[in-house]
């Protein structure tokens, strides 16, 4: 997992690349580096943040119109200067940046060592560029042909960009399983892992497909595949504004994205839902809608926060569509020989649309005849292209590593799909259908109201910022919210936290509860309310400190809980979109008070594009 940026054109390459790397730093940030053609092919790299690299460049002449840059999230080799990208070839005539994992690098490396190659790093990426150069020399072929031949021999995933000391206008890029996008300007080209570094300069892009090679030379872009078959670049127009990837006055991207949720949920529904007219239209699931309506079961594959959204969707779909749902960790799905029948429906959920485990799960399911519905945020992403049909969340760029607005946007899409299916199947009454359409349309205003609790939640955070453990409890639709709240706290504050179904507390976790254990209970008014009240009593009896998220106007739980956070009254089935808001804010403020890097928590990267 990493961020890739490259440039060729009339601008100063290092300025474009450094700015782009900062925009991509959420994808990986244990080291960074650039390579420039400036009196030779020179590489500058440094362990740490992009700012550490930038400070290290002050004493160098960086004048160059071509360059490649990289931020790293370590896979092979610890984070240090040597393992940082870019990497030289054996002769130092070539340099590479690489995202992904070359699985057969060890055998390739031994073969190259036997030929006299020496390596400066522990990375598979350095082996990759040595291998490409070795092929070029032994076959006396062009660099792009050497890249093509190498790609037929390596096993694994990659997004690469290569530059050559001998060709000052040449960049060669390729991808398989890791994203790469090419921005097209006037007499200039930009390459990046996603569009965020590009949008400042151009809105015309080409998304590379798997097994595709891009050759940029003398202001011309050519594409071919690893079978040496040329193709015509398909130029798309980006629907993204520069302001969307700036902090906009907020201290952190995460806080900005939490507060963007009323808008992101509304954007997700715009043009799709009109409660007054009873209209719900999802053009992205039109062709295969009957497959979904007649499905015997639905399998949801996802990771992390998207998996939690899938769990909420399981409750919603089964409640209203009466279709059995299985929610699977994409990372485990393909390793247990799952039973998939032709015609099974698989929902693949991913914010980035590039999650490697989810993509692998999709390919397995497709190979067995399943119908894939993708739910993702990034237009043109790999999951969007690999799916038969699906829907974008339209949440806008999410830069903070800890996902927030993606969760509520995914729930919006999943709920709309479920409501449409239920209505067409006749498994929901007209009255209930229209009630939920109205309620869904009102969710943005309720989220807006929940966000006004920020000062209260900040005060609670001050009290618990030094806690060593947290327990989160929920039942029914709010059980996945408990999991999500615990995940958010773990991700950005490094406090150990666990989410549980409230009734399961008695089956083990209750042993942990004492006067030092904060217990967050989602106790909104729903069908499980009386049971959750009993769970709160059990926590109190063991001197646990209860932070309760309740429905506005609740008169009972405030008599029991030490801290109460009131959220607007919301239909039980849609409450997760509101009850999650205080948990997002709680994790954010605790992390800030602990001095943690909220947007770039240690060891994590935004887009998990390697297994």
186 is catalytic: no
The whole-angstrom separation of Cα 85 and Cα 71 is 7
From 46, 176, 488, 606, active-site residue: 606
Q: Dump the DSSP string for 376-395.
A: ESSTT-HHHHHSSEEEE---
The whole-angstrom separation of Cα 549 and Cα 485 is 12
Report residue 353 as tokens. 């649309």
- Residue that is written with structure tokens 């709920």 in the block: 415
Q: Dump the DSSP string for 16-68.
A: HHHHHHHHTGGG--SEEEEEEESSSEEEEEEES-HHHHHHHTTTS----SEEE
46 is catalytic: no
The whole-angstrom separation of Cα 105 and Cα 538 is 55
Tell which phi-psi region holds residue 110, choosing left (phi > 0), alpha (psi between -120 and 50) or beta.
Answer: alpha
- Residue that is written with structure tokens 């002769």 in the block: 91
Contact 81, 32 (CB under 8 A): no
Q: Exposed, middle or buried, 89 (CB in 10 Å: 0-12/13-18/19+)?
A: buried
- Residue that is written with structure tokens 């309740």 in the block: 550
From 2, 303, 321, 376, active-site residue: 2
End-to-end CA distance of the chain: 9
Q: Dump the DSSP string for 68-120.
A: EEEEE--SSS-SSTTTSSPEE-TTSSEEEEEES-BTTHHHHHHHHHHTT---S
Contact 204, 236 (CB under 8 A): yes
The whole-angstrom separation of Cα 469 and Cα 323 is 37
CA dist 65 → 54, 206, 222 (Å): 18, 21, 20
**Range list of β-strands (E), 165-284:** 167-176, 181-185, 188-192, 204-207, 212-217, 220-225, 230-231, 236-237, 273-274, 279-280
For the chain, what's the residue count? Answer: 611
Q: Dump the DSSP string for 467-536.
A: -SEEEEEE-GGGHHHHHHHHHHHHHHH--EEEEEEGGGGGGTGGGG-STT-EEEEE--SSTTHHHHHHHH
> Torsions phi, psi of 377, nearest 5?
-105, -30
Active site (catalytic) residues: 2, 606
């Amino acid at each position: 997992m990493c961020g890739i940026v490259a440039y060729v054109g009339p601008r100063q390459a290092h300025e474009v690349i450094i700015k782009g790397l900062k925009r991509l730093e959420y994808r990986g940030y244990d080291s960074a580096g650039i390579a420039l053609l400036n009196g030779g092919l020179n590489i500058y790299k440094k362990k740490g943040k992009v700012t550490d690299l930038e400070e290290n460049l002050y004493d160098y002449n960086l004048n160059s119109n071509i360059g490649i840059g990289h931020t790293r999230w370590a896979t092979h080799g610890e984070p240090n200067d040597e393992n940082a990208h870019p990497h030289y070839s054996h002769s130092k005539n070539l340099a590479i940046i690489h995202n992904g994992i070359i699985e057969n690098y060890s055998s390739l490396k031994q073969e190259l060592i036997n030929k006299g190659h020496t390596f400066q790093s522990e990375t598979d990426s350095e082996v990759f560029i040595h291998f490409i150069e070795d092929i070029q020399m032994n076959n006396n072929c062009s660099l792009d042909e050497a890249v093509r031949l190498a790609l037929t021999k390596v096993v694994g995933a990659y997004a690469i960009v290569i530059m050559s000391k001998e060709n000052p206008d040449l960049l060669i890029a390729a991808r398989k399983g890791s994203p790469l996008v090419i921005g097209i300007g006037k007499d200039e080209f930009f390459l990046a892992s996603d569009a965020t570094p590009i949008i400042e300069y151009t809105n015309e892009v080409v998304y590379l497909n798997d097994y595709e090679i891009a050759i940029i030379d003398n202001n011309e872009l050519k594409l071919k595949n690893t079978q040496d078959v040329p193709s015509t670049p398909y130029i798309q127009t980006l629907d993204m504004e520069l302001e969307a990837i700036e902090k906009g006055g907020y201290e952190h991207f995460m806080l900005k994205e939490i507060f963007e949720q009323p808008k992101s949920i509304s954007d997700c529904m715009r043009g799709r839902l009109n409660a007054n007219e009873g209209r719900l239209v999802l053009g992205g699931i039109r062709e295969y809608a009957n497959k979904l309506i007649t499905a015997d079961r639905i399998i949801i594959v996802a990771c992390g926060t998207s998996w939690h959204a899938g769990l909420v969707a399981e409750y919603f779909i089964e409640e209203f569509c009466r279709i059995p749902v299985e929610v699977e960790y994409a990372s485990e799905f393909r390793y247990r020989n799952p039973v998939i029948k032709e015609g099974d429906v698989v929902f693949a959920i991913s914010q980035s649309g590039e999650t490697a485990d989810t993509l692998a799960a999709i390919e397995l399911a497709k190979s067995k005849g399943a119908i894939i519905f993708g739910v993702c945020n990034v237009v043109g992403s790999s999951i969007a292209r690999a799916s038969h049909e699906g829907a974008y969340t339209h949440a806008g760029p999410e830069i903070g590593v800890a996902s927030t607005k993606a969760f509520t946007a995914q729930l919006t899409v999943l709920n709309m799909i479920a409501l449409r299916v239920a209505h067409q199947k006749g498994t929901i009454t007209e009255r209930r259908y229209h009630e939920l359409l109205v309620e869904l349309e009102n969710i943005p205003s309720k989220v807006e109201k929940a966000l006004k609790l920020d000062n209260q939640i900040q005060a609670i955070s001050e009290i618990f910022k030094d806690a060593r453990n947290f327990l989160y409890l929920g039942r029914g639709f709010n059980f996945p919210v408990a999991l999500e709240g615990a995940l958010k706290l773990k991700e950005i504050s490094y406090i150990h936290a666990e989410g549980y179904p409230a009734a399961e507390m008695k089956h083990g976790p209750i042993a942990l509860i004492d006067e030092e254990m904060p217990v967050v209970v989602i106790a909104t008014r729903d069908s499980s309310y009386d049971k959750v009240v009993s769970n709160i009593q059990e926590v109190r009896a063991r001197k646990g400190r209860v932070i309760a998220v309740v429905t506005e106007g609740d008169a009972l739980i405030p008599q029991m809980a030490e801290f109460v956070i009131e959220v607007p009254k919301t239909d039980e089935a849609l409450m997760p979109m509101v009850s999650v808001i205080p948990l997002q804010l709680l994790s954010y403020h605790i992390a800030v008070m602990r001095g943690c890097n909220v947007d770039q928590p240690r060891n994590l990267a935004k887009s998990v594009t390697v297994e």
